Amino acid sequence: DAMVIQNPRYQVTQFGKPVTLSCSQTLNHNVMYWYQQKSSQAPKLLFHYYDKDFNNEADTPDNFQSRRPNTSFCFLDIRSPGLGDAAMYLCATSRDSTEVDEQYFGPGTRLTVT
């Protein structure tokens, strides 16, 4: 049974054309994370939500935004994708973040920018 679902699995967008990636979870976890992972690199945290509280990483470009309308769903918006934004985008959840708990990762969305 899928616990963290990401749609779509593959996304192709044009340079500069806004794109939204989605993530949903059936675990009822408080925390949701978005990571960017480029080939042969570690996942890089972009931001995370603790419940409704948004926590941005200092080096996350303004081009990346996120929305969490409810506990189950979280969206990653890329306002003006550049060629350098092509990557795998991973969504993860954890029960609590006061001390980082096990993170459950979704299968990822692979973004191609043409």
Partner 1 sequence: GQQVMQIPQYQHVQEGEDFTTYCNSSTTLSNIQWYKQRPGGHPVFLIQLVKSGEVKKQKRLTFQFGEAKKNSSLHITATQTTDVGTYFCAGDTNAGKSTFGDGTTLTVKP
Residues of the shown chain interacting with partner 1 in the complex, contacts defined by CB under 8 A: 31, 33, 40-45, 48, 50, 55, 57, 90, 92, 97-108
Nearer to partner 1, 65 or 97 (CB): 97
Question: How many CB atoms are located within 10 Å of the residue 36 CB?
Answer: 18
CB of 62 to partner 1, least distance (A): 19
Nearer to partner 1, 50 or 75 (CB): 50
Q: Of 62, 8, 66, 3, which is closest to residue 34 (Cα–Cα)?
A: 66
CB of 99 to partner 1, least distance (A): 6
Nearer to partner 1, 18 or 58 (CB): 58
| Token pair in block for residue 83 | 């060629």
Residue for token digits 């899928």? 2
Residue for token digits 């794109």? 19
